A and B are shown apart, each in its own frame.
Chain A
Amino acid sequence: MSTSAPMLKVDGLVKRFGGVVALDGISFEIEEGSVHAILGPNGCGKTTLFNLIDGSLKTTAGRVEFDGHRIDGLSSSKIVRMGIARKFQVPGVFNDLTVAQNLEVALAGEDGRFGFLGLLLARPERVRRDRLAEVAGLTEKLEYAVAELSHGEKQRLEIAMLLTRNVRLLLLDEPTAGMSVTETEAIAELVCVLRDEHGLTVLVVEHDLLFVKTLGAPILVANDGKIIASGDYDAISQDPRVVQSYLGAAANA
């Protein structure tokens, strides 16, 4: 609960894949307890940014700090244990398992029981499980195989699976991809609940304007591996650079 350091600080982050520059010196800071959205067209480096923050990829240059601690270079599992949880673009749920088993996987390692013996003896609390099932809206479907769930239900289940006791920063990668308008609004609402009731810091990457607008959070606009504008929805939608590079026809319509 440090008040001096931002929850997440990204400083001059560069990622090159051979000759291709995916991220070209991105810097931003996110305060604890806030929701931010990164908006950008496909291919602008949004997912790469998440891959660098959560340790899936190594940075080419620059640094990432989480609550004052440098985390670039650490392994994914270490970074997760520090309290950064990520929702993937394609729902990262276990399709062969039931909803209850999915939640057990999410909760079994809580309190640091990530090893063989700890897991063998762990008995996850039912109350916690039921609480997360409620967040996912799946209380009635605990025994369903996840493969039988709708796309929207899988997305919500995955978000619920990230809400372990030690999580502090949520990275949501296009959480509304492939969702209906109603489902999208429900996810925006859920994100606000996570901030207000669970005290989480949330960083969302999206290319869906509607969702970002509904979210009502500060927006960073990315293009060609750089942040080109920031501000609230009204401000960025007026910004000529954003209109030109991203909104284009949508803003003129």
Chain B
Amino acid sequence: MKSKRRGLYATVAAWVALGILGLLFDGWLLSQMAIYFCYGMFAMGLSLIWGQAGILSFGQAIFFGAGAYGFALVTLNKIPGLGVSVAMGFVVAIVLATALAAVIASLTFAARGLSGAHFAIVTLCAAVVVETATTRSDYLGGYNGLFGIPPLSWNGTMIGDHALYYLMLSITLLAFLSVVAIIRSPYGTLLEAIRDNEHRVRHLGYVPHHLKSAAFILAGALSGLAGALFAAQFGFVSPSLLGFALSTQVLVWVAVGGRAVPMAAMLGALVVPGAENMLSNVLGDVWLLVIGVLFVAVVVAARGGVFGNLLRLPLPQRLRE
């Protein structure tokens, strides 16, 4: 029994540690860490579809980027009639990302019955198409993207480093609790069953592509929120946020962290880019080799990821004896 609760204790400890980190740093480093929480939420969305339902997507940045661009377009007053409010920016970001996810889900799962490698390739192509289209759109700023997105503020004053860090931490915690609630519900069990044997799920009366689409759309919405928060902090958006490269990076973060455990996936998305930031100055291009070797090692030797086994929560009470 004790070993089963280890994952719970480790998860709580990790959140407490993230809380304490906010007290230890300030300035540029702290704001950098706050931005990484966007990656963390993005990674949890991927964990929901890839870790839980076995849906490998090479196009998750489409939704992250859609969120970022949606937020930018509203706050830069480029969508007539919607105003420039930050709240409207978030609404548009999430709606846009959700709608794009719904379109891709309906074109793949529902219409074509795509899954596995076929689905991965289609999403990869979609990411390339969206990125290329964005670079050619003057309205979206082309190659240069959109500049001058106003920073998050409260009553007219810019939110300080520490407040921003804890705001991001809280939003990420809420996202984490939501994802955990979803995967621990019977719906989460169904997603796992689909990952294992989709055919059998269909023959128990379910429509697997509906259930997969729901997960894909939820992940898209979460990625859109993450993208909007990224744009709000980073101040500018560019086509690379929508593309194949970021889509692949998030896969690496999630695989290294532990794809089947949202907390592990989230930590992967904090630690890997964090290490990249620190070590790429020292190691230069050797960094790419390091992350490549780490990725291969995880895929071959530790499929649960670096943090997966440590942070795996015990099964819900109802699934015990």
Contacts and interface: CB of A to CB of B under 8 A. Distances in A.
How many chain A residues sit at the interface, stated as a range, is 35 or more
Interface string A127-143: 00000000000000011
A94 B321 contact: no
A142 B204 contact: no
B203 A92 contact: yes
A104 B315 CA distance: 13
A114 B206 contact: yes
Given A95-B196, A108-B186, A77 B320 contact: no
Interface string A232-248: 00000000000000000
A251 interface: no
Interface in B306-321: 315, 318-321
Interface in B193-214: 193, 195-197, 199-207, 210-211, 214
A9 interface: no
Contact of A116 (B195, B214, B321): B214
A101 B187 contact: no
Contact of A80 (B185, B205, B315): B205
Given A85-B203, A123-B186, 7 more contacts: A56-B203, A77-B207, A94-B197, A95-B197, A105-B201, A123-B318, A142-B319
Interface of A: 54, 56, 76-77, 80-81, 85-86, 88, 92-98, 100-102, 104-106, 108-109, 114-116, 119-124, 126, 142-143, 161, 164
A105 B204 contact: yes
B180 to A, nearest CB: 13
Given A95-B196, A100-B319, A119-B211, A108 B205 contact: no
Contacts of B315: 98, 100-101, 143
The 10 closest A-B pairs by CB, nearest first: A80-B205, A119-B187, A116-B214, A108-B186, A92-B200, A94-B196, A100-B319, A120-B187, A105-B193, A122-B186
B187 A76 contact: no
Interface of B: 182, 185-187, 189-190, 192-193, 195-197, 199-207, 210-211, 214, 315, 318-321
Contacts of A126: 318
B320 A143 contact: yes
A101 B183 CA distance: 12
Contact of A88 (B189, B195, B200, B206): B200
Chain B binding surface SS class: helix
Contacts of A114: 205-207
Contacts of A86: 203
9 contacts: A77-B205, A77-B206, A94-B192, A96-B195, A100-B319, A101-B319, A114-B206, A121-B185, A122-B186
A76 B192 CA distance: 20
Contacts of B192: 94, 96-97, 101
A77 B211 CA distance: 13
Contacts of B195: 96
B122 to A, nearest CB: 22
B182 A120 contact: yes
B189 A116 contact: no
A102 B204 CA distance: 11
A161 B206 CA distance: 14
Contact of A119 (B185, B200, B203): B185
Nearest to B181: A120
A104 B186 contact: yes
Contacts of A85: 203-204
Contacts of A95: 196-197
